[in-house]
Amino acid sequence: MSQLTHVDKDNRPAMVDVSAKAVTRRSATAQSVVFLPPAVRKALVDGELMTAKGPVFHTAIIAGVMAAKKTHHLIPFCHPLGIENCKIAIELDDEDNARITCTVTVTHKTGVEMEALTGASVAALTIYDMCKALSHDMVIGQTRLLEKTGGKSDIHQQVEESEK
């Protein structure tokens, strides 16, 4: 088993020292899925993605970007980063899901996986918040890293057809 990176030699919590790492372009893409009960999906589609609280997906995109930029305030050992790009896309699939994809890019000594995961997660939470008056049967499902590039190792996760 590999060594945990956020524990020092004395087994105490510690921030990873990135001072000796090379500055490279780093990118990460994460996805979160929100199951929308039929009534919520119908209301969103019929209302052109609006609720009484406003434009659901547009608001979720803004919230997700804001969250990605503030990840270091939420996750104790994340380094503060000047994010250079954050894109969030939300689409409805054929299985009553809203699929949120968040891609974050930075030129730095550390990666942006946590920023991408945070952006996708908060966008999902925002959809839930904006639609909960319609139904509490929404389920925020799988949140996962799909891809990361530019660090010590690249990751490209396979997405099964049933997950698309």
The residues carrying an active-site annotation are 129
Q: Which amino acid is at 28?
A: A
Helix or strand run (H / E) with residue 32: strand 24-35
Given a contact cutoff of 8 angstroms between Cβ atoms, the answer to whether 132 and 44 are in contact is no
**Following CA atoms 6, 83, 88, 118 in sequence, which dihedral angle do they give, to the nearest 10 degrees?**
20
Query: Within a 10 A sphere around the Cβ of 43, how many other Cβ atoms?
Result: 19
What tokens were used for 138?
Answer: 């929404």
